[in-house]
A = this chain, B = another copy of it.
Amino acid sequence: MTPDRTKQSVAHPHEAQPAPFPASRKVYVTGSRPDLRVPFREISLSPTRRADGSEQPNPPVRVYDTSGPYTDDVPHRNLSEGLRPNRLSWILERGDTEVSDASCSVPADEAHAFPAKRTRYRAKPGRNVTQMHYARRGIITPEMEYAAIRENVSPEFVRDEIARGRAILPANINHPESEPMVIGRNFLVKINANIGNSAVVSSIEAEVEKMRWAIRWGADTIMDLSTGKHIHATREWILRNSPVPVGTVPLYQALEKVGGRPEELTWELYRDTLIEQAEQGVDYFTIHAGVRLAYIPLTVNRTTGIVSRGGSIMAAWCLAHHRENFLYTHFEEICEIMKAYDVCFSLGDGLRPGSIADANDEAQFAELETLGELTEIAWRHDVQVMIEGPGHVPMHLIKENVDRQMQVCKEAPFYTLGPLTTDIAPGYDHITSAIGAAMIGAYGTAMLCYVTPKEHLGLPDREDVRAGVIAYKIAAHAADLAKGHPGAADRDNALSKARFEFRWNDQFNLSLDPERAREYHDETLPAEAAKTAHFCSMCGPKFCSMRISHELRDQAAASEQAALGMAAKAAEFRESGGKLYS
């Protein structure tokens, strides 16, 4: 349809292996067993140069790393082979799975099929392979220990949070390539990046590249929302090469199977789609089981009606048949499928507000009540659950969303899209929503689904993905700081120290986007000498406050007496109320 665009979306050779971040090296921390190796990125810093010419070393800074084997010393390159299935031995050790052949029934898409075939597993009859099931039996899995090391907390704490449903660890037994991570409000705030083609643009290569690009910038999970051609093959390529959990909305593929006619959807066809995707290794499913027939009339007078794709499809089915949502009526059977592969529920908010005008309305909160009801059902099956949230919400209505969700859904992790805090800035919705995302994260939301600058306008390309991920890493980190997450400020403090000491390269290297920071600085001062200059082009040499601050310190240091004198004066002034005028 738009060849130029498609070409543009396809990975270029030089993109196939993005340059590693400067001054960074991949390090692995080994846990209680040799095959449990947890990745971090270590950023090395240059020493502080004192006025007397002496040097003081600055310790390297370790940061959480989502980039996977693509940033190893020997980077993974062969996409046709896929990543090493590191978790497979842990899964098989548990002895509660068996080989499945159901996937054979999936019509192979030879032209685009992923070449390397994988054995598919499912739980033995009557067994439950969810991390929640293990956690509730007091078992600390290698996955839990792995996530605990990443978060710098105890494995027992991770187990306990999963057991009580306040955190989830998405780890489908058929996605052994994944590096375990945990989503819950007592852990670092996570972000999800949506990728996937549409009927209009994109290609398999482009989507796999978007996945690798998204995790390079820090996406903790990705959702494949493909609705175009080769859905099964695209998903297989992504899963086999993704070190982060992958989520999907199975309804999209189901709708493709019936030619895009919602009324032709059936439970049997949907069920088979769930199994097909669970056997591929999808880690969480968005399931719009809360869009009940009874709630649809509540949306008729809205400004923007139903803006969730899945929500609108199920609403269309309900109306066409005048029957209750089959995802709701078959929910227990869905739970049986989820626990056979350990797929997490991401209970979709099909009636989320699509505009400021519709925020926190009756339709939205009616659905939330149902999601709370379904959460308890899933938990009875030891199936992990997170709850999806809005949408478009003005700032003063954001907190109510978190408070209600925690109460109604018994603290199951909240996973929100933004929210966008105004409707008037299409083209900048990564910013309108980063504001809402930072706030809702600080209030206790566990994962933030990114919004790119193309929201409402078109399918995001690579640069949009980068802009969206960085905006959301900012929101998530701002929330971690506000929540007082231990150690969250270490990177801020290291960067600010580098900034104050004019260690420009360290400032760039510690930032979320070192390339962009350096590029902006070098636009005006490209010379290497400027990388230690005590000013930048913003204020110029004479007006650099930090340079002057250093001179003040040197003066103070030079004259201990003066310093004491000043301190005394300071005390005296404060005692006297510090006023000249009265």
Contact = CB atoms under 8 A, between A and B. Distances in A.
Contact of A511 (B319, B395, B427, B478): B427
- Count of this chain's copies in the oligomeric assembly: 2
A152 to B, nearest CB: 18
B227 A307 contact: no
A426 B517 contact: yes
Interface stretch (A238-246, A274-282, A291-299): A291-299
Interface string A454-498: 111111010000000011011101110111100001011101110
B545 A294 contact: no
A450 to B, nearest CB: 12
A198 interface: yes
A70 interface: no
B262 A520 contact: no
Contacts of A354: 496, 500, 545-546
Contacts of A198: 537-540, 543
A474 B425 contact: yes
Interface in A263-309: 292-300, 303-309
Contact of A427 (B396, B442, B516, B556): B516
B474 A431 contact: yes
Nearest to A564: B297
A572 B324 CA distance: 14
A181 interface: no
Contacts of A543: 198-199, 227, 252, 255, 260, 309, 313
Interface stretch (A34-42, A111-119, A521-529): A521-529
A523 B312 contact: no
A391 to B, nearest CB: 12
Given A304-B500, A578-B369, A474 B540 contact: no
Contact of A373 (B458, B520, B542, B579): B579
B574 A294 contact: yes
A555 interface: yes
A5 B536 CA distance: 14
Contacts of A481: 356, 394-396, 421-422
Contact of A457 (B199, B479, B510, B538): B538
B395 A479 contact: yes
A256 B394 CA distance: 46
Given A426-B511, A427-B517, A517-B426, A570 B312 contact: no
B428 A580 contact: no
B454 A424 contact: no
A478 B424 CA distance: 10
A185 to B, nearest CB: 15
Contact of A496 (B199, B357, B470, B517): B357
Contacts of A395: 438-439, 442, 478-479, 481-482
Contacts of A85: none
A81 interface: no
A56 interface: no
A550 B305 contact: yes
Contacts of A461: 523
Interface in A353-368: 354-357, 366
16 contacts: A296-B566, A297-B563, A303-B500, A309-B543, A309-B545, A312-B546, A312-B552, A313-B543, A356-B496, A395-B442, A421-B474, A423-B499, A427-B519, A428-B512, A456-B499, A457-B517
Given A423-B499, A427-B520, A435-B474, 15 more contacts: A227-B539, A255-B542, A262-B548, A294-B573, A297-B570, A305-B553, A312-B546, A316-B552, A356-B489, A356-B496, A392-B496, A426-B507, A426-B511, A428-B474, A459-B524
Interface of A: 2, 5, 198-201, 227-228, 252, 255, 260, 262, 292-300, 303-309, 311-313, 315-316, 319, 322, 324, 328-329, 331, 354-357, 366, 369-370, 373, 377, 392, 394-396, 421-428, 430-432, 434-435, 438-439, 442, 453-459, 461, 470-471, 473-475, 477-479, 481-484, 489, 491-493, 495-497, 499-500, 507-508, 510-513, 516-517, 519-521, 523-526, 536-546, 548-553, 555-556, 562-563, 565-567, 569-570, 572-574, 578-581
